[in-house]
């Protein structure tokens, strides 16, 4: 039986987008149309879905968007040329380079070229440094969305123990930084952490962002902890589905042949966690909402 309170990321994201709609209307009234330039390289299905979701959200708020789609064979120079073109355009206020890039493309060179004033993902070294110094221009969208979720659900952070599982530049590192700035005591775990469950069981707030389906199980979670699941993993095998899905989701899995699950083993963790984000419908919608916020901020600052 599920014990946890579900943290409604989709509902929270909808509220944020309602608030942003007023900001967008004010900009449009003065003749400024916030513009997002999206660069998609290759044919990864998940990346294509993410891009469609982001651009559809732009349309709902009346934002301009333009997607440049390069083939998976694109070179670093070709990708760089597209970023440089977006940098020069006054109608593009924010630039999103959809990750991951194909292996032959120098991701670091590409992200470093994005104008820091248009870097709405917050990945440019200048923006990373500003975040660490507590004077951010743009906060990376997923960690920023998680902080909004915790704030709007009145989850206390001051003096609490927080554990982040994952150390990526996109989620893990900025997430730890934001929790630290909120006066939590923060531990970062990763694939080399020994006795992971002994560390995570100390957490009042546990953020799982390591990209391994169902890694975090009941034994990893302290009774009553708040658990945020950033993972987005597609499972296709029946034995995985039986293990990781609630019975109510099994019929849909068998009809489709696949399902999305997080890094948290929902059936077991929901028995002990005080609050838990679902997958899907948890962190994903928040990421998109915060991308819109950063794009509107970029247009306001232009």
For the chain, give every domain's residue range: 32-118, 142-284
3 state SS for the chain: CCCCEECCHHHHHHHHHHHHHHHHHHHHHCCCCCEEEEEEECCCHHHHHHHHHHHHHHHHHCCEEEEEEECCCCCHHHHHHHHHHHHHCCCCCEEEECCCCCCCCCHHHHHHHCCHHHCCCCCCHHHHHHHHCCCCCCCCHHHHHHHHHHHHCCCCCCCCEEEEECCCCCCHHHHHHHHHHCCCEEEEECCCCCCHHHHHCCCCEEEECCCCCCCECHHHCCCCCEEEECCCEEECCHHHHHHHCCHHHHHHHHHHCCEEECCECHHHHCCCCCEECCCCCCHHHHHHHHHHHHHHHHHHHC
Quote the CA–CA distance of 302 and 300 in Å, as a whole number. 6
pLDDT of residue 302: 83
pLDDT in tens, 23-77: 999 999 999 999 999 999 999 888 888 899 999 999 999 999 999 999 999 999 9
Average pLDDT over residues 151-172: 97
Residue 268 has pLDDT above 60, yes or no: yes
pLDDT in tens, 92-122: 999 999 999 999 999 999 999 999 999 999 9
Confidence of residue 2 (pLDDT cuts 50, 70, 90): low
> Mean pLDDT for the chain?
96
pLDDT in tens, 183-209: 999 999 999 999 999 999 999 999 999
Confidence of residue 249 (pLDDT cuts 50, 70, 90): very high
CATH 3.40.50.10860 correct for 32-118: yes
CA distances (Å), 121 to each of 29, 138, 169, 171, 235, in order?
A: 26, 7, 11, 11, 28
Is residue 175 within 8 Å of residue 143, measured between CB atoms? yes
Quote the CA–CA distance of 65 and 44 in Å, as a whole number. 20
Measuring CA to CA, which residue among 274, 165, 234 is closest to residue 245? 234
Catalytic residues: 54, 98, 121
Is residue 34 within 8 Å of residue 93, measured between CB atoms? yes
- C-alpha torsion angle, residues 51, 52, 57, 62 (rounded to 10): 100
β-bridge partners, 164: 188, 207
Confidence of residue 3 (pLDDT cuts 50, 70, 90): confident
pTM for the model: 0.95
Quote the CA–CA distance of 175 and 63 in Å, as a whole number. 28
What CATH topology corresponds to 142-284?
Rossmann fold (3.40.50)
Length of the chain counted residue by residue: 302
């Amino acid at each position: 039986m599920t014990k946890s309170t579900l943290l409604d990321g989709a509902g929270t994201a909808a509220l944020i987008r309602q608030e942003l709609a007023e900001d967008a209307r004010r900009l449009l009234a003065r003749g400024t149309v916030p513009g997002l330039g999206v660069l998609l390289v290759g044919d990864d299905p998940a990346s294509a879905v993410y891009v469609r979701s982001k651009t559809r959200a732009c349309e709902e708020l009346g934002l301009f968007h333009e997607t440049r789609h390069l083939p998976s064979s694109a070179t670093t120079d070709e990708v760089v040329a597209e970023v440089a073109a977006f940098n020069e355009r006054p109608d593009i206020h924010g630039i999103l380079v959809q990750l991951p890039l194909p292996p032959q493309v120098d991701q670091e060179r590409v992200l470093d070229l994005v104008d820091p004033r248009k870097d709405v993902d917050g990945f440019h070294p200048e923006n990373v440094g500003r975040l660490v110094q507590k004077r951010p221009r743009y906060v990376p969208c997923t960690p920023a969305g998680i902080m909004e979720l915790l704030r709007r659900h009145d989850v206390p952070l001051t003096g609490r123990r927080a554990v982040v599982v994952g150390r990526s530049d996109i989620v893990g590192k900025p997430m730890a930084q934001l929790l630290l700035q909120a006066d939590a005591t923060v531990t970062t775990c990763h694939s080399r952490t020994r006795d992971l469950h002994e560390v995570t069981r100390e957490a009042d707030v546990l953020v799982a962002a390591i990209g391994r389906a169902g890694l975090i199980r009941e034994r990893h979670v302290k009774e009553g902890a708040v658990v945020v699941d950033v993972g987005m993993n597609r499972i296709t095998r029946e034995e995985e589905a039986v293990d990781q899905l609630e019975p109510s989701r099994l019929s849909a899995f068998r009809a489709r042949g696949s399902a999305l699950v997080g890094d948290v083993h929902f059936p077991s963790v929901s028995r002990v966690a005080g609050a838990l984000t679902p997958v899907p419908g948890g962190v994903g919608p928040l990421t998109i909402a915060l991308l819109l916020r950063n794009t509107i901020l970029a247009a306001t600052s232009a």
